[in-house]
Amino acid sequence: MTKYKLEYIWLDGYTPVPGLRGKTQIKEFDAFPTLEQLPLWGFDGSSTQQAEGHSSDCVLKPVAVYPDPARTNGALVMCEVMMPDGVTPHASNKRATILDDEDAWFGFEQEYFFYKDGRPLGFPTSGYPAPQGPYYTGVGYKNVGDVARQLVEEHLDLCLAAGINHEGINAEVAKGQWEFQIFGKGSRKAADQIWMARYLLLRLCEKHGIDIEFHCKPLGDTDWNGSGMHCNFSTKYMREVGGKDYFEALMAAFDKNLMDHIAVYGPDNDKRLTGKHETAPWNKFSYGVADRGASIRVPHSFVRNGYKGYLEDRRPNSQGDPYQIASQVLKTIAEVPTGAARKAAA
Ligand code: ADP
Ligand code: MN
Ligand code: MN
Ligand code: MN
């Protein structure tokens, strides 16, 4: 038997952006535990905005488990928060009720800023560094500094070792701003991995006295880019059947549901989706081929392949909850008839 360090991780009850919480319990197993072997656990919900002090118990239900490469015999256990009965999802538990479909594929591009001493890493004590331009995918000390890349690389290795499906990383447009991409089949699978990657990044940076700023426009109304979390998505039907008519019907549904999407695409998005800095205005839906100034960018390959493949919704922001983002995308897609239903309606 081996003693495993199980880090139970969950989302707290803060709004509009839940925080990540985690605590460890030690348990003995013959081998790395499976999800089924991991017991329910509890925590004090009155300290996380999830309960009142007089009845403070909430339940943690493990829903995904990954090896924790930073700890000997460690496991990262993603949990849903449940009511004391262990079966009713807590009001803060969005994951429990989202739409999911393992044939729906999601690729999230998580952008973020490294922050130190209240400003982006590499910014001078007062004023600004040289304007944007050389930082995106840049190289060299004057562009990326001396620690950012080290952290980005270490984070990538931790995520890969944990089985998180990173697809890439790059330095972003603003100084101190970076991105990683995660791809997953199914909303829960992709979104669990985004939350876990956020957790690993925050934890990794502790020892360097560096924080991650996930706010979508930390530098306000300036000439510095905000942070998004573009949501690339495709369903089986989009990949295999697609077609121009279906695509246009899909875009009409996205247009109609504009406000439902914006509601879950992350707070303060009106400050980021201004029409500048490679964004579209938040209150007007648009789409365009290879257009980074549109709400939805249609890749060239999509059109070339007969309107088949994936689309990129550029509106979700860096603080958005990937569970709710993916679910809203699926909700809108579900409103558009496919196949036989489509032909019958035509
Ligand atoms: P860009 O920065 O040009 O917008 P990235 O390379 O950063 O593009 O991100 C593209 C994303 O698209 C990746 O996260 C990738 O996983 C995702 N992706 C690629 N193919 C599909 C697909 N068929 N369905 C869903 N997502 C996809
Ligand atoms: Mn990208
Ligand atoms: Mn980007
Ligand atoms: Mn993108």
The DSSP line for 45-109 is GGGTTSSBTTB-EEEEEEEEEEEETTSTTEEEEEEEEE-TTSSSBPTT--GGGS---TTSEEEEE
What is the tens place of the pLDDT at every residue in 168-201? Answer: 999 999 999 999 999 999 999 999 999 999 999 9
SS3 115: strand
What is the tens place of the pLDDT at every residue in 244-293? Answer: 999 999 999 999 999 999 999 999 999 999 998 889 999 999 999 999 99
pLDDT of 221 strictly over 90: yes
SS3 29: strand
Atom of ligand 1 nearest to the CA of 239: 23
Q: Which ligand is nearest to the CA of 136?
A: 3
What is the tens place of the pLDDT at every residue in 78-117? Answer: 999 999 999 999 999 999 999 999 999 999 999 999 999 9
CB within 6 Å of ligand 1 — which residues? 105-107, 109, 167-168, 181, 183, 230, 232-234, 309-310, 312
Flag whether the pTM goes above 0.85: yes
Instruction: Please tell me the predicted confidence (pLDDT) of residue 54.
Output: 78
Question: pLDDT band at 345, cuts 50/70/90?
Answer: low
Which H/E stretch holds residue 258? Answer: helix 258-264
Instruction: Please tell me the predicted confidence (pLDDT) of residue 342.
Output: 72
Dihedral sign (CA 293, 295, 299, 303): negative
> Ligand 1 center to residue 171 CA distance, Å?
16
Answer for the pair 167, 110: CB distance below 8 angstroms, yes or no: no
pLDDT of 55 strictly over 90: no
Pairing of strands 41-44, 57-68: antiparallel
Answer for the pair 214, 198: CB distance below 8 angstroms, yes or no: yes
The beta strands (E) that lie in 73-159 are given as: 74-82, 105-116, 119-120
